[in-house]
Amino acid sequence: MSFSSQVKQELLRVRPEKHCCMLSELSALTQTCASLRLGGGGGLRIVYEVENTALAKRIFLLLKKRLEMTPTLEFARYKRLGGRSACLLTLQRQDSRRLLIALGMLRESAAGEFFRGAPRSTQTRRCCRASFLRGAFLGAGAMIDPEMGYHLEFSVNDGRQDVLLGILEKSGLHAAVIKRRGKDVIYIKRGDDVADCLTMMGAHHAKMEMENIRIKRDSRNQANRASNCDQANLNKQLAAGQRQAAAITRYSLSHSLSGLPKELQEIARLRMLNPDLSLEQLGQQLSPPLGKSGVNHRLRKLMAAISESTANDEDEPITE
Query: Per-residue pLDDT tens for 160-216?
Result: 678 889 999 999 999 999 988 878 899 999 999 999 999 999 999 999 998 888 888
Amino acid 219: pLDDT:
77
**Residue 23 pLDDT > 50, yes or no?**
yes
Amino acid 320: pLDDT:
47
Q: What letter would DSSP give residue 307?
A: H
- Three-state DSSP at 144 gives coil
Alpha carbon distance 186, 179 (integer Å): 9
Sign of CA dihedral 232, 234, 235, 240: positive
Q: What letter would DSSP give residue 288?
A: S
Extended beta strands in 174-299, E state: 176-180, 183-188
Where residue 58 falls among pLDDT bands split at 50, 70, 90? very high
- Taking the CA atoms of residue 86, residue 89, residue 92 and residue 98 in that order, the dihedral angle to the nearest 10 degrees is -130
CB atoms < 10 A from the CB of 7, how many? 25
Is 3-202 in CATH node 3.10.28.10? yes
Alpha carbon distance 18, 15 (integer Å): 9
Confirm whether pTM is higher than 0.75.
no
Contact 282, 318 (CB under 8 A): no
Q: Where exactly are the structural domains of the chain? A: 3-202, 217-309
Query: Exposed/middle/buried for 205, CB within 10 Å: 0-12, 13-18, 19+?
Result: middle
φ, ψ for residue 305, nearest 5 deg:
-65, -40
SS (H, E, C) 67-130: HCCCCEEEEEEEHHHCCEEEEEEECCHHHHHHHHHHCCCECCCCCCCECCCCCCHHHHCHHHHH
Amino acid 79: pLDDT:
63
Radius of gyration of the chain (CA): 36
Extended beta strands in the chain, E state: 34-38, 44-50, 72-78, 84-90, 141-143, 152-156, 176-180, 183-188
Average pLDDT of span 232-239:
82
- Three-state DSSP at 45 gives strand
Q: Please state, rounded to an integer, the average pLDDT across all residues of the chain.
A: 84
Alpha carbon distance 18, 27 (integer Å): 14
Render pLDDT for 252-311 as a digit per residue (tens, 0 to 9): 877 778 778 888 888 888 888 888 888 888 888 888 888 888 888 888 888 888 887 765
**Residue 111 pLDDT > 60, yes or no?**
no
Render pLDDT for 64-102 as a digit per residue (tens, 0 to 9): 998 899 998 888 877 665 667 888 999 988 888 888 888
Amino acid 144: pLDDT:
92
Alpha carbon distance 25, 130 (integer Å): 8
Give me the helices (H) in 255-278, please.
262-273
Amino acid 63: pLDDT:
93
